[in-house]
Amino acid sequence: MNRSRPLLATLGAGIAVTLGLAGCAGSETTAENAVAAGGEGALSACPATVVLQTNWFPEPEHSAAYALIDPAEATTDPDAGIYSGPAIADPSITIEVRSGGPFIGFQQSTALLYSDDSIMLAMIDTDESVKLSADQPTKAVYTPLQVNPQILLWDPERYSFDEISDIGESDATVLYFQGATYMDYLIAQGDVRADQVDGSFDGSVTRLVADEPVVMQGYITQEPYRLKVDFPDYGRDVDSFLIADSGYDIYPAAWSGKPEVVEAQSDCLAQLVPAMQQAQIDYMDDPEPVNQAISDYLVEIDQFFQVTPELGAEIHRVMQDEGIVADGTDGVFGSFDAERMERMTALLADIYAESGVEVAEGLTAEDIYTNEFLDSSISYGR
């Protein structure tokens, strides 16, 4: 998930930049030119260290990366936000998972790919990939989530909405992160009104808890639980709409690389992507070890974002029950649907054209994703 919520204001820019520099420290070896480790292992075509950049603090939604490593063998660097260890699929290869958020100065993952050549893959949303396609192109090779878990949520004791367009007919202030492209889409669709949106959202649920007339953005995997359990002044269920159900159906946090790296490391990716497919399925089948490892690691990090084992279990349940984690339309785990990608690429190009953002000339869906590295025999089957 793209968790680039503007919590920088609560941390201080200096802290974020300092942590960002620490988190970006990597080897001088580039992902494009890294020499394969060789040998007979399942990841023998990969470099000795594979660097994966997430877009937020460690969380169960990132299990495709964290589950590559046996928690019992993992090494943590909480100051730099680095979780590493031998790959379960091939212990001769080290997997290094880097945290995002404050550890990268709240930069977009694409910026990291283009400033740190040691990163092989980073988590990038479809809309980010389209928006930056002219100057910083990326290609997605694996999607850990089939449904974007981002929602608009509200207190059902204040509002009763049957469909998303009902929000636009209400007096609610719609809180969102300034610059989020989905809001441009919702306004253009008539689902919300331009005069009711407020881009000052800072990740806090204070205004909803204080019973203000608001609809706010969040994630179905986390905010409903947090509001019910962690905020006793509210302490009840919320109602919500998935933004994906509005037609703004991006793939969130897809594992992506620079096109030249994807080409240069194609032999590695043909081994690594199936390992990520299997690691995430293994997590879905038995989430507790990785959830506990993530929770313990966040305690070590000791910042504002924490995931208790109980919340981790709830995130897993929601990802499973809501189909957030599921097979692609072709029955392959982690695959992109061609028609969906074509529709979203065209839709996003039109949105950005309206706002004066230049995307790559002649951009097509095939420019920003591929299913070629997936093992078509790997299926979640649920």
Q: What is the mean pLDDT of residues 93-113?
A: 96
For residues 72 and 74, give the distance between their C-alpha atoms in angstroms, rounded to a whole number: 6
Structure tokens at 227: 């509001």
Whether residue 4 has pLDDT greater than 60: no
Residue positions counted in the chain:
382
Parallel, antiparallel, or unpaired: how do β-strands 254-257 and 139-142 relate? antiparallel
State the pLDDT at residue 28.
54
pLDDT tens, residue by residue, 163-206: 999 999 999 999 999 999 999 999 999 999 999 999 999 889 99
CB 325 within 8 A of CB 380: yes
Whether residue 217 has pLDDT greater than 70: yes
Question: What average pLDDT is seen over the chain?
Answer: 92
Whether residue 89 has pLDDT greater than 90: yes
pLDDT tens, residue by residue, 345-367: 999 999 999 999 999 999 999 99
Sheet holding 214-219, edge to edge: 197-198, 173-175, 214-219, 150-154, 239-242
State the pLDDT at residue 12.
33
Mark residue 255 as left, alpha or beta (left: phi above 0; alpha: psi -120 to 50; beta: remaining).
beta
CB 105 within 8 A of CB 16: yes
For residues 50 and 75, give the distance between their C-alpha atoms in angstroms, rounded to a whole number: 15
Whether residue 307 has pLDDT greater than 60: yes
- Residue 268: name the closest of 31, 67, 65 by CA: 31
Weakest-pLDDT range from 7-16, 69-78, 271-280: 7-16
State the pLDDT at residue 25.
40
State the pLDDT at residue 9.
31
State the pLDDT at residue 33.
86
pLDDT tens, residue by residue, 256-295: 999 999 999 999 999 999 999 999 999 999 999 999 999 9
